[in-house]
Structure 1
Amino acid sequence: MRIVGGLWRGRRLTPVGQGDAAAHLRPTADRVRESIFNLLLNGGHADRLDGTRVLDVFAGTGALGLEALSRGAATATFIEQGRRAQAILRANIALLDAPARVLPRDARKPGPGTPHDLLFLDPPYGKGLGEAAVAALLSAGWIAPGALVVWEEATPPALGPLTPVDQRRYGDTLVTLATAP
């Protein structure tokens, strides 16, 4: 795993192999991450990166949030409950000396927060955790009005109050872009 573009382009992140089944890690492949950022940059969403506050939920290794920082985001907040993932995430942040913080909590019970402009959401597939997290994050103030949500799932998520913008399939991963109310 490596950073695909921007300031830290080519920098390798802490290795996790093909994922850590015991820790439920399923890192977004470099190819899919590159496609997501091409979609953001070439799809008229480039302004969502420059100087923005990024929220990476079910962060795992943090590759999506770190990629956003590499490409111009101001800060990133990572919400991750798994201890193994938190250790890898903290190592990646230290490796890049990234302006980021890790919140070790359940995304469905985030507590009060500050608004973020760009949200990456990569929940365990097929468990409905993304829908519960979005509802909780919206009600707790974590998602700014009009924020862009990039949601990875195996099947189309139930967007609830979010407005769909685009959707693309990359192998087993379906990437949905939506905006917050």
Structure 2
Amino acid sequence: MNRRRSRRAANGARHRADDSARSPAKGSDSRRTGQQPAHRGSGQLRLIGGEFRRRKLPITDSPGLRPTPDRVRETLFNWLAFDIGGRRVLDLYAGTGALGLEALSRGAAMAAFVESVADVATMLETNIETLGAAGHVHRIDVERFLTGVPSPFDIVFLDPPFRQGLAALACQRLESQGWLAPEAMIYVETEHELDWQPPAHWQLHREIVAGDSHGRLFRRQLATD
């Protein structure tokens, strides 16, 4: 009797572990949080629109990554539907690169991905090569990247680790150091409770709250005489 109960408990534990290992496949993107959760299995990234629609790409097994819900990514690219074709895209704190890859799938001319974690960057490079997409991975910290020689981008995705005070500083550097085209679109995802002010030239275009995150899409509008 005790042995049968023990076997049933062990089987139940294995099923729960299997479900946990499969869960990352439901997410659309992976970004590092401020905390380091338990190590979890690799999953898949599914692109949802454009040339690479329904393509599934592997996600590296790396602690401290969080998935962004599919519906948030789908909503974001519905907002950007007429602003992607032929544009230059910058994906900061890229993680799996799902946002930049989605933009390439939907007609962006090129995408630069900034990712400093070696195994995550390697997987992203492999996925770009698999797709034959016009993307390049910069293996460097975002802070160092943004102090380099600037090149203006039309669309920027900024989804830093939560609760580390990184979003405001990155936004300031994007604005002040020449990284943005005159009417650039900037998507910033932060923890939902964060109260911060974007640069003066950024006008809020759309926003979405999902779980612990608050996504805001801004359009840069410079004053004209």
CA deviation after TM superposition for structure 1 residue 32, in Å: 2.0
Could you tell me which of 50, 55, 64 is aligned with 2:90? 55
**Structure 2 unaligned regions, length at least 5:** 1-44
User: Against the structure 1 CA distance between its residues 75 and 152, is the aligned structure 2 distance closer, same or farther, given a 3 Å change threshold?
Assistant: same
Aligned residues: 172
TM-score (norm 2): 0.71
CA contact (8 A) 1:14 1:91 kept: no
String of CA shifts for 1:114-145, please: whole Å, max 9, x gaps. 10000011101121212111222333322212
Q: Are the counterparts in 2 of residues 115 and 144 from structure 1 also a CA contact under 8 Å? A: yes
Structure 1 unmatched ranges of 5 or more = none
Counterpart amino acid of residue 155 in structure 2: L
Which letter does structure 1 place at the counterpart of 2:87? Answer: T
CA contact (8 A) 1:25 1:60 kept: yes
Matches within 5 A, 1:16-55: 16=60, 20-21=62-63, 24-41=64-81, 46=82, 48-55=83-90
Determine if contact 2:91/2:111 at 8 Å carries over to the other structure. yes
Q: Per the alignment, in what secondary structure is the counterpart of residue 81 of structure 1?
A: coil
- Cross-structure match for 1:97: 132
Letter in 2 for 1:133: A
Equivalent residues in 2 for 1:1-181, closer than 5 Å: 1-16=45-60, 20-21=62-63, 24-41=64-81, 46=82, 48-110=83-145, 111-155=148-192, 156=194, 157-161=196-200, 162-180=202-220, 181=222
Deviations 1:44-94 (A, max 9, x none): xx1x20100000011011110000010111100111122122112112111
Separation of aligned partners in 1, 2:88 and 2:105: 13
CA distance in 2 between counterparts of 1:137 and 1:76 reads 16
Deviation larger for 27-36 or 56-65:
27-36
Code of the aligned partner of 1:123:
P
- CA-based RMSD: 1.7
Q: Is 82-91 or 154-163 further displaced after alignment?
A: 154-163
